[in-house]
Amino acid sequence: MPETLREMQRRFLAGIVGDDGEAEELIVDDDRVGARRRLDIYRNNYRASLTGVLADHYERLHAYLGDEQFDNVAQAYVTAHPSTTRNLRYYGEALPAFLAKHFPADGELAELAALDWALRHAFDARDTAMLDAAAVGALGDAWIEQRLVLHPSVRLLRVRFNVAALWSALDAEQEPPEPVAFASPVALLVWRSGQQPSFRSLPEAEADALAQFEAGSSFTDLSAHVIAAMGEAGAMESLAAWLGRWLADGVLILAD
- Model pLDDT, residue 115: 98
Coil/strand/helix, residue 189: strand
- Model pLDDT, residue 247: 96
- CA-CA distance, 202 to 208, in Å (whole number)? 9
The number of CA neighbours under 13 Å toward the Cβ of 117 is 19
- CA-CA distance, 158 to 186, in Å (whole number)? 6
Smallest CA-to-CA distance from 16 within 46, 38, 36 is with: 46
Long-range contacts formed by 200-209: CB under 8 A, 24+ apart: 201/164, 202/156, 205/229, 205/230, 205/238, 206/238, 206/242, 207/156, 209/238, 209/239, 209/242
Q: Is 250 left (phi over 0), alpha (psi -120 to 50) or beta?
A: left
Edge-to-edge strand ranges of the sheet holding 181-193: 155-161, 181-193, 196-202
- Model pLDDT, residue 85: 77
- CA-CA distance, 40 to 20, in Å (whole number)? 11
Element of type H or E holding 207:
helix 204-214
pLDDT by residue, tens only, the chain of 256 residues? 356 766 656 555 655 566 655 655 556 556 665 556 666 656 666 778 899 999 999 999 999 999 999 999 999 999 899 888 778 889 999 999 999 999 999 999 999 999 999 999 999 999 998 999 999 999 998 899 999 999 999 999 999 999 999 999 999 999 999 999 999 999 999 999 888 999 999 999 999 999 999 888 999 999 999 999 999 999 999 999 999 999 999 999 999 7
* Cβ pair 153, 192 in contact under 8 A: yes
Smallest CA-to-CA distance from 161 within 174, 179, 176, 175 is with: 179
- Count CB-CB contacts under 10 A for residue 57: 22
